[in-house]
Structure 1
Amino acid sequence: MSDTVQDSFVTIKSGKLAGQTADGVTAFLGIPYAAPPFGKNRMRPPRPVEPWHGTRDATQYGPTVPKDEYPPVYQPLFPEVVFDGEHCLNLNVWTPDPNATGLPVFVWIHGGSFMNGSGSIGEYDGSAFARDRIVCVTINYRLSADGFLYLGDGLSNLGLLDQIAALQWVRDNIVAFGGDPAQVTVGGESAGAMSVTTLMSMPLADGLFQRAILQSGAGAYSLTPDQGRLVAGHLAEALGVPATREAIADVPIGQLAKTAADLVTKVQTNPDPGKWGSLALTMLPFAPAIDGDVLPAAPLETFAKGHNRDIPVLVGSTRDEARLFLIAAGTIDLVDEATLTAGAGAYGLSPEAVAQYRKNRPVASPGDILAAVATDWHFRIPALRVAEARGDGAPTWVYRFDYPEPADNYGLGACHGAEIPYVFDTTGLPEIRPRIGESPSAAVVGATHGAWVAFISGGDPGWSRYDLTRRVTGLITDEVTEAADPDGDERVLWDGIR
């Protein structure tokens, strides 16, 4: 039986907040960390939030940033929420005790291809972390063109600047919730993990966090200035306006979000290299751009120079990442040998390399093999490149999430996003069953959530560090098993490719 819900109050730099306590967890929701990004603030760096008088209600999630819907095939798998309002640059805090001191902090940056998502989605509820004596924070940040349009005009990566503003808010205010600003772990999945990787390489973010978790996303998808301008040109053409910040900002925000989403759909459904170049493979036309200022260089280049080498990092992927995309689209059984060869060739793999994948999966269909190849190109190898760039001796741990089997969740298996509810211990939510299946494992929750808690609290998830000799990886199912260089014969096939 739930405890009686009680009002709780804290005072932060911008004013007093009223939250609620239930079941030993106190939640403060919808707290603005920056001014509304509209009007004179539209497509500009985040501005400080204005202090308020009196007590601000923080018992409900705040507005979400403007965005369009996921493509229809993904909507049942990734439920979205939309809350209207201008104060969309907000965050949520769950704490075991606002009167505590020195608690570790976990700041979560959501994924969604830099186009979708929010910090208010049910599976990101931070209550389980709070019950384990961790202050959990989830954030919103600007998406799509509002957050990641690159025009070469000296203003770029606004979504990343939002994330920095949120981390600065945590530094300045988290003590009021019992948290320690010197024990902050920043983590994320997919575009959220790409964001974290990028933040690790940015001087502007130095000192704002002490540990990092990268789930199914690394630093391989930063846009070059030329790619950014290419995307901006196609977007302006679709809008029928000049490719300038002023002209694009004058477009009604709903129309801009819809047009940008349509552009992404075109990249993903008709990935023409003649039109999109290498974006035809990454399929992420809106992403952090290497602008020489906010993001001075590609993250891997920065890591190779030793930047933030001493920060403990937990990085990894799921075993069957790309099955999500092939199963959701209903195309996995349409892949024949010719399609497999052509698809792998686009990623740079030779027929001999494809034969190695086939040898390791003697009963797999061509679609299954293509899913394994795409999983490695998009997710596993980029994660390993982060570990490699940090070098031997750096506090880096690599994991692979290996649950469930495809037969247990409609063919998806340990697909992209399968691990998130196990990390947050929110597998009981009915809306995520289409992704994780009808019988989620409590033991897998214990192993996964427990490893994250251990890392956030003490900087070590519980298995051996990664080095370039043994390449130890923690394989996560109902327990964590150490494996030396799992699927190493396939890993080496990507040397010199990515």
Structure 2
Amino acid sequence: MTGTPFVDRTVFVDNLTAQHSAGSAGTPTAARRPVAETFHGRVRGTVEGDVAVFRGIPFAAPPVGDLRFAAPQPPHTWEGVLDAEAFGPIPAQAEVPSSAVAPPPSPGDDGRGCLTANVWTTDLSGNRPVMVWIYGGGYLAGSSADPVYDGAVLAEEGGVVVVTFNYRVGAEGFGQIAGAPANRGLLDQVAALEWVRDNAAAFGGDPAQVTVFGQSAGGGGVAALLAMPRAAGLFRRVIAQSVPGIFVSPELAADVMATIAAGVGVTATVEGLREISPAALATAVDALDIREYADRWGAFAYGVTPFSPVVDGEVLPDTPWKALKNGASHDVELIVGHTRDEFRKMLAGRGLLGRVTEEMTEDALRALAPDGYRAAFPEKTPEQLYETLHSDWLFRMPSANLARDHTGRSFLYEFVVEAPGFGGALGACHGADVALTFGNLTGPLVEKLLGPQPNAELTTLSAEMRAAWTAFARGEGPGWGEFDDAGTTWVIGADPIVRSYPEQLSANLWAGHDFPCLPLRTSAAGREGSTS
């Protein structure tokens, strides 16, 4: 698709003028509804403060009926002007996020479906860099409607256009199903980026200056996109926060899906699973405890989710680490990093804080650790070693190794700010950096983690992180040196500093580990997660 869509810039400029002239309380509703024209039709958003917001714009057809387990298809065009004031439906998942401000999961028969995008912009006539966010949630849950992902602060302060979008999660997006393409959730992400390429100009964005950023499963999506031929040319820069190291073989993924399907009495085929509603299938997924299947699934059973990207050889030809070593995305600039205490919150969520035994630690060491791991940390208690190992294996070393393996420009960071919530017991835990990334430090879920009132330190750090991320998106660099043999790292703490990588001991232990595609075990013997 070529050409530049018509943009109703006059409408937007007049709207902002009317808003500031009348004041927010007296501004007529019509004067707060900017209109832009995408390739599929005109959309009408709202003006919130100094930012125009468009929500719930379809970037793909509803994934229902014959399209339920299919690759995403282009959205239908529409006549007139589509109201883009509210978020689209949340993708099917077992539990609707309590913080979401969108319709609940739906079969998509609203005509719009769940595959929708949202845009924040301060200038429809501009040519600004675009930042596209991919949410986390263990490839199992999540929604772009979460208030923490509101892009207004980034757009207004950073001089960028912010885009968020939904993608299919759980079995709908990542289940390995006979007769369906693998990695449908990743294909949704590519479709969203293609929509950005084709429509960024309609919202004042530059399609040649796209930065993709995401955290946790969203960071895994960012890493996967670096290795996907279908995503080549759709972005110029990426920011990968807390990248998961688990990528799986088709055989392992198929066995997981077959186990889930058997639980609801069907086969793991398109025909079989269409008999089960998305809600019922999501509930069946939620009931699965992967820890019970270590004999068949090996190291995968020590993870935190039943789904991960599948190295299928087509959609995803290889793991990100191997692909980057071989020169994939060499021309893409990369920021990647992790929190210091990645696994602490998950340990608490499993009720294991203060309860990890020596036997549990020994079992995890046998399944996951590189040689010499216990000896390298003689001062750690069994629980501390258990937590460090899982932090390293799940997030810290996959993130650090991504910087190491990328043949293009890489920048590494570590987030060491301890979350004030829960009496500080969670430390610098997984996800503590997300609210600071967007500058949204209030709200029920955020306040549980960061406290009811953001302190001056968090407010300042959030501003510094946003400045670094948006400067990077503008092509100015993040403000610290490239990752090199000295392990140059931005350590984000009370007093952010640039220094050598703080987790170098772990990095040395995992130096020969490329986070390979995890296979289906053929016997109870072996150590699928080991480097030896």
Equivalent position to 1:307, from 304, 321, 328: 328
Residue 271 (structure 2) aligns with: 246
Letter in 2 for 1:148: F
Residue 51 (structure 1) aligns with: 77
Q: Give the paired residue count.
A: 478
Equivalent position to 1:415, from 416, 429, 440: 429
How do residues 10-159 of structure 1 correspond to structure 2 at under 5 angstroms?
A: 10-69=36-95, 79-80=99-100, 83-84=103-104, 85=106, 86=108, 87-100=113-126, 102-131=127-156, 132-151=158-177, 153=179, 155-159=181-185
Residue 444 (structure 1) aligns with: 461
- Cα distance 1:369–1:297, how it changes in 2: closer, same or farther (>3 A)? closer
Q: Structure 2: how far apart are the matches of 1:438 and 1:356?
A: 39
Q: Structure 2: how far apart are the matches of 1:146 and 1:450?
A: 36
1:65: Cα distance to partner? 1.1
Q: Structure 1: how far apart are the matches of 2:47 and 2:350?
A: 42
Q: Structure 1: how far apart are the matches of 2:373 and 2:445?
A: 39
1:349: Cα distance to partner? 4.8
1:82: Cα distance to partner? 5.3
- Cα distance 1:127–1:485, how it changes in 2: closer, same or farther (>3 A)? same
1:407: Cα distance to partner? 7.7
3-state secondary structure, aligned to 1:301: helix
Letter in 2 for 1:371: E
Q: Does 1:333 align with 2:358?
A: no
1:479: Cα distance to partner? 4.5
Q: Structure 2: how far apart are the matches of 1:153 and 1:162?
A: 18
Equivalent position to 1:277, from 287, 293, 298: 298
- Deviation string 1:147-177 (CA, Å, 9 cap, x unpaired) is 1121354622111111111111100011011
Letter in 2 for 1:199: L
Cα pair 1:105 1:184 within 8 Å, conserved: yes
TM (norm. structure 1) is: 0.91
3-state secondary structure, aligned to 1:278: helix
- Cα distance 1:67–1:346, how it changes in 2: closer, same or farther (>3 A)? same
Q: Structure 2: how far apart are the matches of 1:238 and 1:27?
A: 43
Residue 397 (structure 1) aligns with: 411
- Deviation string 1:433-490 (CA, Å, 9 cap, x unpaired) is 11223443211112221211111122511111002x2011110124431111323123
Q: Structure 2: how far apart are the matches of 1:152 and 1:241?
A: 12
- Cα distance 1:143–1:487, how it changes in 2: closer, same or farther (>3 A)? closer
Cα pair 1:409 1:436 within 8 Å, conserved: no
Q: Structure 1: how far apart are the matches of 2:43 and 2:495?
A: 40
TM (norm. structure 2) is: 0.85
1:271: Cα distance to partner? 4.1
Work out the percentage of aligned pairs sharing the same amino acid.
Answer: 35
Q: Structure 1: how far apart are the matches of 2:436 and 2:378?
A: 30
Residue 287 (structure 2) aligns with: 262
Residue 466 (structure 1) aligns with: 483
Residue 440 (structure 2) aligns with: 426
Q: Does 1:344 align with 2:365?
A: yes
- Deviation string 1:370-427 (CA, Å, 9 cap, x unpaired) is 2222111111100122112214xx2100000111267875411111100000000001
Letter in 2 for 1:431: L
Q: Does 1:208 align with 2:225?
A: no
Q: Structure 2: how far apart are the matches of 1:375 and 1:81?
A: 31
